[in-house]
Structure 1
């Protein structure tokens, strides 16, 4: 019976991830954006719209943007939680962890990322009305795009990234050092792990404003890299090389007009 419950919980967890990706796919294609984020005729027309126009535009309203970001958080961040949930399961015998506590860890972690979704929606609206990004969430200038790439790349070398990544990379050590029993303990630990994860991965969310927040290619690539960052064997080895690659990409974006003679 316990094995059936465990299998059912994991199946529901992965089903939620697949449902989030399916929702994002339907939203992107419904707006006329293809799988790699290239806008079709309808999406291209939307990009040039003024958010101050007297008409309803979902991508210029907090509610739809918040829903989009919340589903995006589920699609991108839940896969990175697998090592954490596995580590919690390993403590079910030795530390008295329970299935209810497992769900509480998931709930606490998700609650933090819902908060991040609200913050990202607010940032997107502010950037949109400032003219920094367009209606599809794509930066309107090379200065913004290149600068954001460099900023996120530089963050990979900071002490804050090191501390947050250290916790996300080795959740078992976090559980052992800060164990809290029961459902309330699971909620608190899940929320704390979510906060560390947000501190570790916020930059990859922000890079959506370079490639477009509706680009499934960007979301898939960012998710893959965040999962790799948390792998116990190679996670630490990829953080700084990715930072260097992002800085180089940002410099290339800024220098492109000069290289083209513009």
Structure 2
């Protein structure tokens, strides 16, 4: 097996290359946010998949994940870019970093398949039984709270906060598709860490910009703030409180309230 220790001093990227890597990831995240906000303004907040077919939903989901997740994954991607080292050209480093990000986002796109199924099921249930939305919201917040406080969250959050050991282990793997595999592996840990936060988008609305921004902020703080684990626990407690309130507070489930049918044109004319 080819070895390439990721953090030997002679292989570290120069400051200019690191700045370029950071700038590229930030630019992608900003562009994804702009496109997501623009799309959300035309779609509103509705139950279910909002009439989207699976391919369109996955495309939009990928855009959302790029907007929400790249700010917090950027330090890991840049750390891996540092390990790529000076032996690679600028184009090669960019290609390998791109492969890392592609592997990461592919895992979240696969998770989007589960999200699509969950949204389709809850949307159908709410349309047939509007009162069920409150209990779906209760379940979603309860799951999110338990996940935030559970052992899997702690394991995955530790990896996301300190991924160096895994990156060094992957440096021993064969070079073929290694960068893609590293990104996908980190993406799996990230899904394990954050799936509960994504579940709350069911009651709050998958295209609710405020909810997406809030989730992105929680993810960023959990992974990068020195008190992130404590913050994660506090968020879990908040979710459990919201679970208790959800059956009685319609304001906590905008994404599970079926839109009112528009008034027929002839009825509107008769009323006038």
Pairwise TM-score range, normalised by the shorter structure: 0.7 to 0.9
TM-score, length of structure 1 as denominator length: 0.77
* 1:155 has 2:147 as partner: yes
For residues 102 and 64 of structure 1, do their structure 2 counterparts lie closer, same or farther at Cα, with a shift above 3 Å needed?
A: closer
The one of 197, 207, 215 equivalent to 1:214 is 207
Which has more radius of gyration? 2
- What are structure 1's unaligned runs of at least 5 residues? 38-46, 52-56, 258-262
TM-score, length of structure 2 as denominator length: 0.74
Distance 2:111 2:54 in 1: 14
For residues 142 and 196 of structure 1, do their structure 2 counterparts lie closer, same or farther at Cα, with a shift above 3 Å needed?
A: same
Distance 2:197 2:227 in 1: 19
The one of 109, 112, 116 equivalent to 2:107 is 112
**Equivalent residue for 1:78?**
70
**Equivalent residue for 2:263?**
none
* 1:18 has 2:18 as partner: no
* 1:87 has 2:79 as partner: yes
Distance 1:139 1:161 in 2: 31
3-state SS in 2 of match to 1:130: helix
1:132-171 mapped onto 2 (5 Å cutoff):
141-171=133-163
Quote how far apart the aligned CAs of 1:124 are. Answer: 1.5
Quote how far apart the aligned CAs of 1:251 are. Answer: 0.9
The one of 227, 235, 254 equivalent to 2:247 is 254
Distance 1:114 1:139 in 2: 31
Q: Which has the higher contact order (CA 8 A, sep 6+)?
A: 2
Contact 2:104–2:187, Cα closer than 8 Å, also in 1: yes
Quote how far apart the aligned CAs of 1:244 are. Answer: 0.8
* 1:61 has 2:53 as partner: yes
* Cα deviations by residue, 1:5-57 (Å, 9 ceiling, x for unpaired): 554444332222122111121112123x3xxx6xxxxxxxxx59xx9xxxxx9
Distance 1:78 1:139 in 2: 37
For residues 63 and 139 of structure 1, do their structure 2 counterparts lie closer, same or farther at Cα, with a shift above 3 Å needed?
A: farther
Distance 1:163 1:139 in 2: 37
* Cα deviations by residue, 1:191-246 (Å, 9 ceiling, x for unpaired): 11001101111111111111111111000000000011101512222121111111
Cα RMSD (Å) of the superposition? 3.3
* Cα deviations by residue, 1:98-129 (Å, 9 ceiling, x for unpaired): 72433322221121112122331232123223
Distance 2:88 2:204 in 1: 45
1:115-130 mapped onto 2 (5 Å cutoff):
115-130=110-125
How many pairs were matched up?
A: 234
